[in-house]
A and B are shown apart, each in its own frame.
Chain A
């Protein structure tokens, strides 16, 4: 078929260019097939139409496909027609001359779906060289969606004249795919396959995998065909599976299953006995085998296939898989190319995984950094930290109720969330935490009380269902680097936000008066007080700052996850572990902790992608072990501050 078409095309190239031909005679030559087309008969007509080389062919095919062709019933001549009321505006196919006639002398051509698809395929070759870029593009796309052997010729022919560079590259790539699968000679296919070695796109991998598709061959003494892999019984293939293959190929009798034995026995009970053995003894496999053997000896049931029978049946057989592709040179080349592609894909996946891990780490960092300040710097366990994250997220949600513009609402929500949670933090510090500075374990319990109260309050106010916090349009979508490496903009934004906060907190702690005072109070409250610093005020401010950052983290987390009253609780244990693993009292430590946990979780998920629960379990176990060996975290405090 393909060769046929190619020859015709060559002929078109020579003859068609020489003379502008009228289409009507060609159409009349196939009047029967065109007027009442079927999938089987229409292809001859289509081939001849393409071969005619007339410039009107593509227009005709399109009109035909759109049911825009009419036939005059009197003499069978075809026209392009548009129906207006009872009248028909007719256009001559070759000259384009318009005329008008009543509808009832004409019949409309209505090709069915299958025929229209065939017409579409034939149209592709015309569309590939169409002057309109969009139409060429859609033709290329349609080939990519349904690659077929006969598209190779037109596609290859159209490359030379393609003016658009990007489309030309795409056409070359697609030509490679097609000739890898459908090329004429092995050499041509191997060349195409080899040229794809650096192409990591999913399409290229699909082409390779299709060439390398295998099927299980009928077991035989000597393998024949293009053998992909010989399976050794015991290693690649269990004896039971091997035997099952023999049964499927009709080379061995079916195994009588335990259930079948049971049924056979039950069907042959005579006077409470089966084959002379009382039924009460049939409650063991050995007893049943004996009874069945007796039945088989009597010829009432097929004999049992024993373990030994299976062994000997399997022993002198070869089990192997063969490629669907008969040419071994092609499959070898495809295998080599696929290996090379997969090496590249693995490298790209590593990069992708690293990006994923980075983004997860930045989420953990954002969630934990506020805690690092209150817990790390002040030594206060704030179990309500997660609820501050939740408050921030709900603040964002409420702002969006009033400000419909998403960009603007996020810009308002970030500082507002900070303000709300800062205030909540200060109030909590004044009323509760202040009185418990010397009883850290009780702070844990008191803040837990606040945590459950806040969670329930949020549930009472906002209900139990998740509330959306919609991100602005420019954060939708993902940054696609290749088919393998891509990262959503929202994750990039969270990463940037995390970096900003790292900088901001380092700046506040190291370069401002407040930071100096915070560090002084942390190291020695008594001495700091005697130097004129008010520790009460500093503690209040520090706690407010930590809580405020939790609020901003809440907005960020709410953007990519749903806002619920329990969202804080999801992060609290993780956040504590981040701080503890990183090392208390140090912003860099929190960063290290978040990175470790983020990378670890992604790494474990990579080993076992289907099971995030297992990944979390292993991660927690790892953290428990890690703390055994570095109880003070990655970045351990030194000197007096570490004393307790």
Chain B
């Protein structure tokens, strides 16, 4: 009997159904539709969480399925954010500049408009010229293309160099971490052309939709993120099933053996690495308009390690595990650090969770690695007994 894609991946249906219901529930409860059960900031948080889930499944594919512990995927996420942020910032500043120039008797020349925008954007780093990086920033289409092309190209070149010289295992992890570090250090410079440590800000205001309320905007972005997550989930489920998925998992389990069987291991790894980088870029492009600001600190190597932590806690080698891990840890984290958790009074010492949350996270992370290597997702194995 020929197996269909869905029968091979029962989790896809369940996941899509759950995500659909969840989106519907949030849409009904949001302020935009009038019920107001869920605050706009909560909708934003949930939307951002969905983007994090998307990059988490990308991370799961590259690590859990292909065995490459990349500590650089958050860099791709950030690049995606910067790419869309450049357009958002340019277009919005252009709108502001045009409004302020409107009243003048002499209409402005294109050069004058350009100078005024440059002054607005780069004034904070003591410059007013547009760096070459911003060459396409006036075009939404081209910047959207950048969201895909830049992370993809970077991953392609980096991966080609690394896999070609057979850098594997922890060395590759350290190398990807070095790449992330280099990128964030570069972005921290004022003359990198991306406003140094100020980053790009005001991204929550979508040019052309200034009159639309944040409640509506955030709901639209939430639904967009949900759609992207659903599509990403289906795409990755399709990639890791079938023959290609078997080869990829074979590489994870024994790279040398797969190579001896005649497969071009490097090509498979490069494909997975680049594809996940592109998806990470898209996730970033959806995340940062909701976050409103992006700066180089977001790309620091530690962010990529956290990404690996989410996937490990959720359970590697299963896509829904990554989703659970990312959603669980990031929501829990914002609950604890946001002061949502009640302080515990021990009599001699009061545990404030804003101070102790990281300790708890660190320790629980060690425990998960030691005692539940399959993560939270592993619990499903107990619920769904597989015929062995």
Interface on A for B, CB 8 Å cutoff? Answer: 258, 262, 265-266, 269, 274, 279-280, 282-285, 288, 381, 383, 432, 435-436, 439-442, 444-446, 448-457, 459-460, 569, 573, 576-577, 580, 611, 613-614, 616-617, 620-621, 623-625, 627-629, 631, 644
Contact = CB atoms under 8 A, between A and B. Distances in A.
Nearest to A455: B358
Contacts of B170: 381, 440-441, 444
B189 A449 contact: no
> A-B pairs with the 9 shortest C-beta distances?
A453-B362, A449-B365, A456-B358, A620-B182, A283-B107, A446-B369, A449-B362, A452-B362, A449-B366
Given A265-B106, A450-B362, A573-B301, A617 B309 contact: no
Given A266-B105, A282-B107, A460-B359, 20 more contacts: A266-B106, A279-B107, A285-B109, A435-B370, A440-B170, A444-B69, A446-B365, A448-B305, A449-B363, A449-B369, A450-B362, A453-B358, A453-B366, A456-B356, A456-B358, A573-B178, A617-B186, A624-B182, A628-B164, A631-B166
B175 A613 contact: no
A456 B355 contact: yes
A456 B107 contact: no
Contacts of B162: 628
B106 A627 contact: no
Interface in B79-136: 104-112
B312 A445 contact: yes
A377 to B, nearest CB: 14
Contacts of A455: 358
Contacts of A573: 177-178, 181, 301
A143 B215 CA distance: 74
B171 interface: yes
B155 interface: no
Nearest to A576: B174
Contacts of B302: 569
Contacts of A614: 186, 189
Interface in B348-388: 355-359, 361-366, 369-370, 373
B242 interface: no
B165 interface: yes
Given A621-B182, A631-B167, A442 B107 contact: no
A459 B357 CA distance: 12
A44 to B, nearest CB: 54
B188 interface: yes
Interface of B: 69, 104-112, 158, 161-162, 164-167, 169-171, 173-175, 177-179, 181-182, 185-186, 188-189, 301-302, 305, 308-309, 312, 355-359, 361-366, 369-370, 373
B362 A456 contact: yes
Contact of A453 (B177, B179, B188, B359): B359
B140 to A, nearest CB: 24
A439 B69 CA distance: 12
Given A449-B363, A451-B362, A627 B185 contact: no
B356 A580 contact: no
Given A448-B365, A452-B361, A456-B359, A623 B178 contact: yes
6 contacts: A453-B358, A453-B363, A614-B186, A617-B189, A624-B179, A631-B165
A562 B164 CA distance: 42
B177 to A, nearest CB: 6
B8 to A, nearest CB: 27
Determine the main DSSP class of B at the interface with A: helix
B161 A442 contact: no
B69 to A, nearest CB: 5
Contacts of A620: 178-179, 181-182, 185
Contacts of A265: 106
A449 B182 contact: no
A456 B312 CA distance: 21
A279 B109 CA distance: 12
Contacts of A445: 305, 308-309, 312, 365, 369
B173 A628 contact: no
Contacts of B158: 624
B45 to A, nearest CB: 22
Contact of A442 (B357, B359, B369): B369
Contacts of A454: 362
Contacts of A439: 373
A569 B358 CA distance: 15
Contact of A613 (B179, B188, B308): B188
B105 to A, nearest CB: 5
Contacts of A441: 69, 169-170, 173
Contacts of A631: 165-167, 171
Contacts of A457: 359
A450 B366 CA distance: 7
Contact of B165 (A569, A617, A628): A628
A266 B111 CA distance: 18
Contacts of B167: 627-628, 631
A576 B175 CA distance: 10
A559 B189 CA distance: 28
Residue from A383, A449, A616 whose CB has the most chain B CB atoms within 10 Å: A449
A449 B286 CA distance: 29
B322 to A, nearest CB: 14
A258 B171 CA distance: 57
B26 to A, nearest CB: 31
A457 B369 CA distance: 20
Contact of B309 (A285, A448, A611, A629): A448
A541 to B, nearest CB: 22
Given A613-B185, A617-B182, A620-B185, A269 B105 contact: yes
A459 B189 contact: no
Contact of A624 (B105, B178, B312): B178
B175 A624 contact: yes
Nearest to A384: B362
A444 B173 contact: yes
Given A445-B312, A621-B182, A452 B358 contact: yes
Contacts of B178: 573, 577, 620, 623-624
A436 B69 CA distance: 16
Contacts of A282: 106-107
A442 B175 CA distance: 17
Contacts of B173: 381, 441, 444
Given A580-B171, A624-B178, A449 B107 contact: no
A456 B188 CA distance: 25
Contacts of B185: 613, 616-617, 620
Contacts of B369: 436, 442, 445-446, 449
A569 B111 CA distance: 46
B113 to A, nearest CB: 9
A441 B312 CA distance: 11
B181 A627 contact: no
B69 A629 contact: no
Nearest to B68: A441
A460 B358 CA distance: 11
Contacts of A577: 174, 178
Contacts of B356: 456, 460
Contacts of A627: 165, 167, 171, 175
A66 B164 CA distance: 82
Contacts of B110: 283-284
A18 B166 CA distance: 95
Residue from A381, A452, A576, A616 whose CB has the most chain B CB atoms within 10 Å: A452
Contacts of B111: 285
Nearest to B184: A617
A628 B182 contact: no
A138 to B, nearest CB: 45
